[in-house]
Amino acid sequence: MKWRYFKQAVFFTVVRLSALVISLTLLGILAYIFFNGYRAITWDFLTLPPTDSMTRGWIMPAIVGTFYLTIGAISVALPLGIVSATYLSEYAKQGPFIRIIRIGVNCLAGVPSVVFGLFGLGFFVVFLKFGSSILAGSLTLGILILPTIIGASEEALKGVPQTFREASLALGVSKWQTIYRIVLPSALPGIMTGSILGIGRAAGETAPIMFTAAAFFTAILPKSIFDEVMALPYHIYVLATAGTYIEQTRPLQYGTVLVLVALVLGIDLIAIVIRSAMRRKKRW
Amino acid sequence: MVKVGKNFIINTNDVNFFYGSFRALTEITMGFEKNRVTALIGPSGCGKSTFLRLLNRMNDLIDGTRVEGEVLFEGKNIYATDVDPVEIRRRIGMVFQKPNPFPKSILNNVTFAPKLSGITKKSDLDSLVEQSLRQAVLWDEVKDILNRSAMTLSGGQQQRLCIARALAMKPDVILMDEPTSALDPISTAKIEELIDELKKRYTIIIVTHNMQQAARVSQKTAFFHLGTLVEYGDTREIFTNPREARTKDYITGRYG
């Protein structure tokens, strides 16, 4: 009897410790970035382009670039992902063909991001002649986050009670109308979760945009989707490895990281607020 | 061969039903009379729910199922290739075991399907809502809260809302799959009264586990056992003077 309680105590301790370690690691990273980076954050830092060979590197173009690329990636991946997930979970007859597609999607999720970068370079930049541009970068990032969105959307669709579908179909509502009016709206909060993860990933990746969209330096803002842009992750990479004055720019690097993290968390926060508002409305 | 009489709205001819290789129904031949309540009774797994769902092609949703034989609705086989199951389900509505309102407002639950079938005028929709909710004896309870979520209603109210929702499509037949099994006795009594009222306009086919319920609400009763139709006749006959020993054993509680 006592032995059982002892085992339980040990097990609970391990579980609590794991949770603690993970939360502390995350907090530690965030705190580290914050204390190293906050001094770099000034109004000018956020609103002006870099100058003096990046040593007084201000980052406004990179913020704008990352924003465009992320929005672009989401607008590519979200519709495509939702449609694919809808097909996989609502229309397709389960069988070997569907299993192969699923395995393909999962493999896509495991492909290193630099491979997406090379694919983007080969296909969008060179073959389709988009050049290094917002368009090429957004499409590349979009493909990168597609598996995340498909996976989350499929889970969300599976989570919609079968009784909703039956209720709608039994009223003489067609399958497409049922999916469009009942199933997808009910699955939307879950799909949002997927897109939140996607946004974070798209905003933070360096390798896929290195060859497809990111410029080392542009003083002006992009005018069309065929322009190159600076992007925060690539800018960090440049400052930390390729610049001429790596040591001098250290505070700027942390400042840029802080901005990137804040941007991602900010976008996440908006999505989380929207999601929970939708959840509150649709309780079952 | 069953002749398609004037009073029969649905007839089945030698219907077999398979889940994969499992034969769930064997040679079911029966007719459902217009404006009557027909109860389908039998022990769990006897195929009565399967049979009910076959009458408006809801079993189409399950992969790997197969129907043999004919299900004639107003003389036309609903499994013929040129028949649109969506159209069939508009004419043959269904109420499920567990109340399953949409996570929408009470109003939108009722108007959802009519809107999609082309009714757009607000005055038409409003009168349809009132009429359907009145028929389902829910109007007085919800007329002031039509915009509240249907999820806030009690289980019994939700089930009456589901009935109202089905009525709003103005079907000819309403299939009910154990509509009160998730409800308390008071809600159950309300639904039963409602069924009695509805049979004036609609044909009702109800699956029930509760034999008192079958006896109370139906005029015709069919007893299913192991995927076959054992006995079918006037409810009074079935419950007072069953021809088959198996029917007798079941209704007297020998098994079930």
Q: Which residues of A touch B91 (CB under 8 A)?
A: 172
pLDDT tens-digit profile of B93-122?
999 999 999 989 999 999 999 999 888 899
Write down the pLDDT at residue A282.
59
Label residue A170 by pLDDT band (50, 70, 90). Answer: very high
d(CA B166, CA B91): 10
**Looking at residue B37, which CATH number applies to its domain?**
3.40.50.300
With 0-12 / 13-18 / 19 or more C-beta atoms within 10 angstroms meaning exposed / middle / buried, residue B217 is: buried
Beta carbons of A177 and B116 less than 8 Å apart: yes
| Closest-CA residue to A212 (of A81, A57, A73) | A73
If you write DSSP's letter for every residue of A10-54 in order, what string do you get? HHHHHHHHHHHHHHHHHHHHHHHHHHHHGGG--HHHHHS--BTTT
**Residues near B53 by beta carbon (within 8 Å), at least 6 away in sequence:** B59, B94, B175, B177
Average pLDDT over residues A86-97: 87
- Asked whether the beta carbons of B187 and B180 are under 8 A apart, the reply is yes
Question: Within the 42-101 window of chain A, which residues sit less than 8 Å (CB to CB) from chain B?
Answer: 93-94
pLDDT tens-digit profile of B114-172?
999 888 899 999 999 999 999 999 999 999 999 999 999 999 999 999 999 999 999 99
**Looking at residue A144, which CATH number applies to its domain?**
1.10.3720.10
| Closest-CA residue to B207 (of B12, B61, B2, B45) | B45
Beta carbons of B89 and A171 less than 8 Å apart: yes
Beta carbons of A173 and B113 less than 8 Å apart: yes
If you write DSSP's letter for every residue of B39-62 in order, what string do you get? EEE-STTSSHHHHHHHTTTGGGGS
User: Does the residue B45 lie in any domain?
Assistant: yes
- Asked whether the beta carbons of B159 and B95 are under 8 A apart, the reply is yes
Q: Which residues of B touch A169 (CB under 8 A)?
A: 58, 61, 86, 89
d(CA B158, CA B106): 9
To the nearest whole angstrom, how far is the Cα of B147 from the nearest Cα of chain A?
A: 12
Q: Which residues of A touch B166 (CB under 8 A)?
A: 170-171
Label residue A21 by pLDDT band (50, 70, 90). Answer: very high
User: Does the residue A19 lie in any domain?
Assistant: no
- Asked whether the beta carbons of B159 and B183 are under 8 A apart, the reply is yes
To the nearest whole angstrom, how far is the Cα of A180 from the nearest Cα of chain B?
A: 12
Beta carbons of B93 and A164 less than 8 Å apart: no
Beta carbons of B98 and A166 less than 8 Å apart: no
| Closest-CA residue to A195 (of A101, A278, A90) | A278
Q: What proportion of chain A, given as a percentage, has pLDDT over 90?
A: 32
Structural domain count of chain B = 1
d(CA B91, CA B170): 7
Residue A53 has pLDDT above 60, yes or no: no
User: Does the residue B155 lie in any domain?
Assistant: yes
Label residue A94 by pLDDT band (50, 70, 90). Answer: confident
Average pLDDT over residues A76-101: 90
Q: Is A122 on the interface with B (CB under 8 A)?
A: no
Averaged confidence pLDDT in chain A: 85
Beta carbons of B169 and A172 less than 8 Å apart: yes
Write down the pLDDT at residue A54.
59
Q: Which residues of A touch B63 (CB under 8 A)?
A: 93-94
Structural domain count of chain A = 1
Q: What proportion of chain A, given as a percentage, has pLDDT over 70?
A: 93
User: Does the residue B225 lie in any domain?
Assistant: yes
d(CA A237, CA A252): 12
Beta carbons of B162 and A167 less than 8 Å apart: yes
d(CA B40, CA B44): 12
Q: Which residues of B touch A177 (CB under 8 A)?
A: 116
Write down the pLDDT at residue B172.
94
Where is average pLDDT lowest: A9-13, A270-274, B75-79?
A270-274
- Asked whether the beta carbons of B256 and B43 are under 8 A apart, the reply is yes
Between A and B, how many residue pairs show a Cβ–Cβ distance under 8 A?
72
Write down the pLDDT at residue B68.
93
Write down the pLDDT at residue A276.
81
To the nearest whole angstrom, how far is the Cα of A127 from the nearest Cα of chain B?
A: 43
Write down the pLDDT at residue A206.
83
Using CB atoms, which residue from A172, A281, A284 is nearest to B113? A172
Helix (H, G, I), strand (E, B) or coil at B117: coil
| Closest-CA residue to A151 (of A208, A106, A203) | A106
d(CA B237, CA B251): 12
pLDDT tens-digit profile of A233-255?
888 888 788 666 777 777 788 88
Using CB atoms, which residue from B63, B87, B93 is nearest to A171? B93
To the nearest whole angstrom, how far is the Cα of A178 from the nearest Cα of chain B?
A: 10
Using CB atoms, which residue from B98, B103, B166 is nearest to A171? B166
Chain A contact probe: residue of B100, B162, B176 with most A CBs at under 10 A: B100
Q: What proportion of chain B, given as a percentage, has pLDDT over 90?
A: 82
Average pLDDT over residues B2-23: 83
User: Does the residue A170 lie in any domain?
Assistant: yes
pLDDT tens-digit profile of A130-167?
888 889 999 999 999 999 899 989 999 999 999 999 99
The torsion region of residue A266 among left (phi > 0), alpha (psi -120 to 50) and beta comes to alpha
Find the domain containing B190 and state its range: 8-251
Label residue A199 by pLDDT band (50, 70, 90). Answer: confident
Find the domain containing A262 and state its range: 24-281
Write down the pLDDT at residue A55.
60
User: Does the residue A202 lie in any domain?
Assistant: yes
Average pLDDT over residues A192-198: 80
Using CB atoms, which residue from B94, B103, B117 is nearest to A170? B94
User: Does the residue B3 lie in any domain?
Assistant: no
pLDDT tens-digit profile of B193-214?
999 999 999 999 999 988 899 9
Q: Is A169 on the interface with B (CB under 8 A)?
A: yes
Label residue B1 by pLDDT band (50, 70, 90). Answer: very low
The pair of three-digit structure tokens given for residue A275, joined into one six-digit string:
């999601």
Q: Which residues of A touch B96 (CB under 8 A)?
A: 163, 166-167, 170
Beta carbons of A167 and B61 less than 8 Å apart: no
Angle at A162 (CA atoms; ends A161, A166), nearest 5 degrees:
130
User: Does the residue B1 lie in any domain?
Assistant: no
Q: So what's the ipTM on this one?
A: 0.89
d(CA B28, CA B15): 5
Average pLDDT over residues A55-74: 82
Which residue of chain A comes nearest to B109, CA vs CA?
Answer: A168
Beta carbons of A181 and B98 less than 8 Å apart: no
User: Does the residue B256 lie in any domain?
Assistant: no
User: Does the residue B150 lie in any domain?
Assistant: yes
To the nearest whole angstrom, how far is the Cα of A131 from the nearest Cα of chain B?
A: 46
Beta carbons of B61 and A169 less than 8 Å apart: yes
Where is average pLDDT lowest: A219-223, A258-262, B62-66?
A219-223
Using CB atoms, which residue from A93, A164, A172 is nearest to B86? A172
d(CA B68, CA B188): 35
Q: Which residues of A touch B88 (CB under 8 A)?
A: 172
Crossing angle of helices A60-86 and A184-204, in 10° steps, is 140
With 0-12 / 13-18 / 19 or more C-beta atoms within 10 angstroms meaning exposed / middle / buried, residue A135 is: buried
| Closest-CA residue to B52 (of B165, B173, B163, B164) | B173
